Amino acid sequence: MNDEVILLDYWASPYGMRVKIALDEKGVDYECQAENLQNKSPLLLKSNPIHKTIPVLVHNGKPICESLIIVSYIDEVWHDKSPLLPSDPHQKSQALFWADYIDKKIYDVGRKVLWEKGEDQEMAKKESMEGMKKLEGELGNKRYFGGENLGFVDVALVPFTCWFYSIETRGNFSIEAECPKISSWAKRCVAERESIAKTLQDPHKLYDYYVKLNP
């Protein structure tokens, strides 16, 4: 099959990392186009005219936007390898539910810890911890959120873990201390899945980048 797969991405974006992990898990050959977010490429503006954000997957000239929608798409198109979503409708709805939860309660709230100050930041810290604890409950004693194998929820959450260091440092708290199971799960993902090990950015590099933007 002569597929042309292009990923428009930005190195620090955890959303972009979700897509890279999914593509690697499926063994898909793709070209990564690094975007300069201060000077977005014509391809990005054409492919995502509504939001003008990365990641965008361009598959044989057709664009797909929004990271979780892209990961679902990848799972459907390259369905013969490493399924990420369960085929059972109820289990699938659970996976979609937790991925949505991660977007709202982990990513959005985590961003607030990094970018807000004072009371707003304190509230975000509290919400962030509550969110992580709920996820820890959902993980339980499973190897992955997907069970024995990496699943949709793992792919949705794991990129965020390379931002833990920045959030802990700025927020002055320890995710490892509060949520040890999530912490071990994150380490397991990196140790056991090459797709994750090679995609996640160095947490210190991200922190230096973040501090330059928000000293």
Partner 1 sequence: MAGSEVELLDFWASLFGMRVRIALAEKGVQYDYKEENLTNKSQLLLEMNPVHKKIPVLIHYGKPICESNIIVQYIDEVWQNKYPPLLPSDPYLKAQARFWADFVDKIYDAGRRILNTKGEEMEKAKTEFIDGLKVLEGQLGEKPYLTGESFGYADIAMVPLYCRFYALEMIGKMNIEKEYPKLIAWVKRCMERESVSKSLPDPHKVYEFLLERQKKIR
Task: Using the minimum distance from each CB to partner 1, give the nearer residue, 59 or 193.
Answer: 59
Q: Which of 19, 44, 54, 70 binds partner 1 (CB under 8 A)?
A: 70
By rule CB under 8 A, what count of residues binds partner 1? Answer: 21
Of 104, 114, 110, the residue nearest 128 (C-alpha): 110
User: What would the x/- binding string for partner 1 be over residues 7 to 36, using CB under 8 A?
Assistant: ------------------------------
Residue pair 186/161 in contact by the 8 Å Cβ criterion: yes
Which residues in 106-165 contact partner 1 (CB under 8 A)? 134
- CB burial of residue 63 (10 Å; 0-12, 13-18, 19+): middle
Is residue 65 a contact residue for partner 1 (CB under 8 A)?
yes
Query: From the CB of 50, what's the least distance to partner 1, in Å?
Result: 6
CA dihedral 87, 90, 95, 97 (to 10 degrees): 150
Is residue 72 a contact residue for partner 1 (CB under 8 A)?
yes
* Strand-pair category, 56-59 with 62-65: antiparallel
Instruction: Give the single-character DSSP code of 64.
Output: E
Residue pair 11/54 in contact by the 8 Å Cβ criterion: no
Residue pair 183/133 in contact by the 8 Å Cβ criterion: no
Query: From the CB of 94, what's the least distance to partner 1, in Å?
Result: 8
Task: Using the minimum distance from each CB to partner 1, give the nearer residue, 49 or 211.
Answer: 49
Q: Which of 90, 117, 118, 172 binds partner 1 (CB under 8 A)?
A: 90
Non-local CB neighbours of 97 within 8 Å, separated by 6+ positions? none
Task: Using the minimum distance from each CB to partner 1, give the nearer residue, 22 or 206.
Answer: 22
Is residue 77 a contact residue for partner 1 (CB under 8 A)?
yes
Which residues of the shown chain bind partner 1 in the complex (CB under 8 A)?
50, 59, 62, 64-66, 69-70, 72-73, 76-77, 89-90, 92-93, 96-97, 100-101, 134
